[in-house]
Amino acid sequence: MSGMLLEIENLHTHFLTRAGVVQAVNGVSFTLARGEILGLVGESGSGKTVTGFSILGLIDPPGRIVEGSVRLDGLELTSLDQEGLRQVRGKRISMVFQDPMMTLNPVLSIGEQMLLAVRAHERITRRAGLERAAAVLTRVGIPEAATRLSAYPHQFSGGMRQRVAIAIALLHRPEVIIADEPTTALDVSIQAQILHEVRELARESGTALIWISHDLATVSSLADRLIVMYAGRVVEQGPVAEVLSDPRHPYTDGLLASLPANARPGEVLRQIPGNTPSLLDLPEGCAFAPRCARASTICATAPQLTHSGPRSWRCHHPLGAGA
């Protein structure tokens, strides 16, 4: 597996709260190849966002990576100090967040914020830095970028703001961009547009992409490979087409069945019964068992990951060919 750009192995990220230990990420492993687009799917609370933040060491107290490793081209990120991590952030791995209203600083101009990001990794004159910023803004589709540098975030629409955030992520041509639900807060028409543009930008520059989303439909139109997370664990992963057409894990199956596109007209959408479990006291065995139609007594013990070619799943009673 040494050819992999990013290797995440047995990652555990826990939050030590007053109420107890929240096991947000509980033994997650996956890899990312150069230029690959990976979709990370799960409901809120499945640990997908925390996984993204853990890669960059952006977990705030009381959260902590308690176990596991994150290697970027062989470089162990979990053992880097603050300065070492800082040099990776924005330079080799960038992030785009969910809500562009919250991420850009409302009282600094766009140019100023981009200049700060440029200067985080390069000694460069103000003038040259602003030119760089304008060039990248043009690349993400912002017209008259040079004159827009002096504008403030509130003078941009939501979609434009997210483009600015993407431009900041692209500034240093990183090897990986982690996008955490970057289109969820936007209008539907803008969503598709940005989705398309980000894919093109990633392909163009050979950047690998981890696209985190709760929306299976969006991700499947974009990604090469899918990872489905549930209660802090990876429950299924594999190439998009195979996972969609032939899911192994009952949870993936449930997610697919609840998509409007898969419903017959006039039929009520199928929902997965029950709620996501509390991460405070996870059941011993399979976390999905209480909501699963196929659950049996064996599900009280934790299922191991089963591998089959490019695919793997974590279930005692998988669906389809793997059964």
Partner 1 sequence: MLGFVIGRCLQALVVMLVMSLVVFTGVYAIGNPLDILIPPEAPQDIREATIARFGLDRPIWEQYLYFLLNVLQGDFGRSFIYNMPVLTLILSRLPATLELALAAVLGATLIGVPLGIYAGYRPTSVAARLIMGLSILGFSVPTFWVGLILILAFAVSLGWLPAGGRGPTVLLFGVPWSFTSLEGLSHLLLPALNLSLFKLAMMIRLARAGTREIILTDTVKFARAAGISEATILRRHVLKLISIPIVTVFGLEFGSTLAFAVVTETIFSWPGLGKLIIDSITSLDRPVMVAYLILIAALFVTINLLVDISYAALDPRLRGGRGA
In the complex, the residues that contact partner 1 under the rule CB under 8 A are 53, 56, 58, 60, 82, 86-91, 94-95, 97-99, 102-109, 112, 116-117, 120-121, 147-148, 150-152, 154-155, 165, 168-169, 171
Residue placing its CB nearer to partner 1 in the complex, 14 or 89:
89
Residue placing its CB nearer to partner 1 in the complex, 17 or 155:
155
Quote the least distance from Cβ 283 to partner 1, whole Å. Answer: 31
Residue placing its CB nearer to partner 1 in the complex, 26 or 103:
103
How many other β-carbons are positioned within 10 Å of the β-carbon of residue 97?
A: 20
Query: Which residues on adjacent β-strands are paired with residue 94?
Result: 177
| d(C-alpha 273, C-alpha 267), whole Å | 17
Quote the least distance from Cβ 238 to partner 1, whole Å. Answer: 29
Residue placing its CB nearer to partner 1 in the complex, 46 or 98:
98
Neighbouring C-alpha atoms within 13 Å toward the C-beta of 204? 10
For residue 163 the two structure tokens come to 């483009």
**179, 211 in Cβ contact below 8 A?**
yes
For residue 200 the two structure tokens come to 């093109």
Residue placing its CB nearer to partner 1 in the complex, 155 or 275:
155
Residues 6+ apart with CB under 8 A from 132: 118, 124, 171
Residues in the chain, overall count: 323
